[in-house]
Amino acid sequence: MAFRRRRETDSHEAQRAWEIEELARSRRIIVDAYEVERRRIERDLHDGTQQYLVAAAMKLGEAMLSPSVDGDPALKELLTQARSSLSAGLEALRTAVRGIHPTILTERGLAAALTDVAASSAADVRIVCPNPLPELPEGVLAASYFFATEAIANAAKQAPGASVTVLLVADERLKVSVVDTGPGGARIKPGHGLSGLRERLAAFGGEMTISSPEGGPTQVAASVPLLLFRGEPGVAL
């Protein structure tokens, strides 16, 4: 009887382990799908839209060299304004392309990428990463990065002058905590900013919480599963 119960227990544990692995595998597929689409958009903008705008800017520059333009001040001013607007649009597009998946995020990791964001933020931002993070699935890396940058931007907008601390830690989950010393009272508005990121995190098992009592501080935190298979470490070795 004891042997039979042990076999049933072992069988149940094996079934549970298989279910957990299948769940991790399916969520990895979802995460990968997000990143494939993100990269496709990045490539299309860079190789398609951006190239058309560059070609248009060159044609406009050629038009401005036409002798007939010098004899028509109004036309020259109009072309100058058009060229300025086109240049601004092209720079905005390049910024958007860089923001879709920053190179530093892939090359140097989450802490370095967020340190780069902190350096250019309007807020006083400190990045704290007590221990090296493990190698993260690309989708987890991207979702965590955009969560943190959105939270930093919100803090700079809603609590100008407040200091912001971003804490990064990992075990079986990556935990990103963004705390600002502002006056508190922050709320998540449906369809805006962090609301969309919460939905994306939820797609592969992530969670987001917010604590913002009147008087502050405000903490926005994400907990993202690393989608580990059995035996994979959750910390950097």
Cβ atoms 160, 122 nearer than 8 A: yes
Q: Which of 58-67, 101-110, 142-151 has the highest mean pLDDT?
A: 142-151
> What's 124's DSSP letter?
E
Using the predicted structure, report yes or no on whether residue 23 has a pLDDT greater than 60. Answer: no
Residue 234 has a pLDDT of 40
- For strands 173-180 and 163-170, give the pairing: antiparallel
Average pLDDT of span 45-71: 78
Cβ atoms 102, 145 nearer than 8 A: yes
Instruction: Please report, as a single letter, which amino acid is at residue 203.
Output: A
The tokens for 17 are: 């382990």
Using the predicted structure, report yes or no on whether residue 5 has a pLDDT greater than 80. Answer: no
Per-residue HEC secondary structure of 146-169 comes to HHHHHHHHHHHHHCCCCEEEEEEE
pLDDT top residue among 65 and 230? 65
Question: How much is the mean pLDDT over the chain?
Answer: 78
> What's 210's DSSP letter?
E
Average pLDDT of span 36-64: 73
Distance between alpha carbon 92 and the CA centroid of its chain, in Å? 18
The tokens for 157 are: 């907008």
> What's 234's DSSP letter?
S
Superfamily designation of domain 106-225: Histidine kinase-like ATPase, C-terminal domain (3.30.565.10)
Which residue spans within 12-111 are E strands per DSSP?
A: none
C-alpha to C-alpha distance for 66 and 69, rounded to whole angstroms: 6
pTM exceeding 0.75:
no
Instruction: Please report, as a single letter, which amino acid is at residue 169.
Output: V
pLDDT top residue among 152 and 54? 152
> What's 121's DSSP letter?
-
40 exposure class (CB count in 10 Å sphere: 0-12, 13-18, 19+): exposed
Using the predicted structure, report yes or no on whether residue 22 has a pLDDT greater than 70. Answer: no
pLDDT top residue among 44 and 177? 177
Domain boundaries, the chain: 2-100, 106-225
pLDDT tens, residue by residue, 85-129: 888 887 777 666 665 667 788 788 999 999 999 998 888 999 999
Using the predicted structure, report yes or no on whether residue 159 has a pLDDT greater than 80. Answer: yes
